[in-house]
Homo-oligomer: A and B are copies of this chain.
Amino acid sequence: MIERNDEYYMRLALKEAEKALEEGEIPVGAVVVCEDQIVAKAHNQTERLNDATAHAEMIALTAAMNALGAKYLSECTVYVTLEPCQMCSGALYWSKVKRLVFGATDEQRGFEHIGCRVHPQTDITRGILKEESEELMKRFFLKIRK
């Protein structure tokens, strides 16, 4: 049996990011897990939805709240392939997630790099499968340059 650890869930988030890449979106994926159950998965859809706010985390958080019928996600862990931006970290703040696990850092727009915050109760783990996430980003930028 496969152990369901941070790497396991981050691989699922990376699968979501790959879907985004195939669709011509910036490759970011997110998975929300509550007591070892996946309650939401999403990838960036800003192009498809024509909505600059349709980041993977925003879609996944709203889907998780709908699935659980709960306004707060204080029992949930959110896995994201890239360090969340100001908007998404604000959404994580409001939803009071228990844990945030992210892959690659975003030195330009990542919330920690620009001095934004998540909820003080949220525990943060960084760098899980970061190389895989960075690789997807590189493939995206190579693709759009062509």
Contact = CB atoms under 8 A, between A and B. Distances in A.
B94 A90 contact: no
Interface in A101-144: 114-117
B86 A117 contact: yes
B50 A70 contact: yes
A22 interface: no
A72 B89 contact: no
Contacts of A72: 52
Given A46-B71, A115-B115, A116-B116, A66 B51 contact: yes
A61 interface: yes
A129 to B, nearest CB: 25
By size class, the interface of chain A is 20 to 34
B71 A116 contact: no
Contact of A90 (B61, B66, B87): B87
A51 B65 CA distance: 6
Contact of A88 (B71, B88, B90): B90
A96 to B, nearest CB: 7
A69 B50 contact: yes
Interface of A: 46-47, 50-54, 58, 61-62, 65-66, 69-72, 85-91, 93-96, 114-117
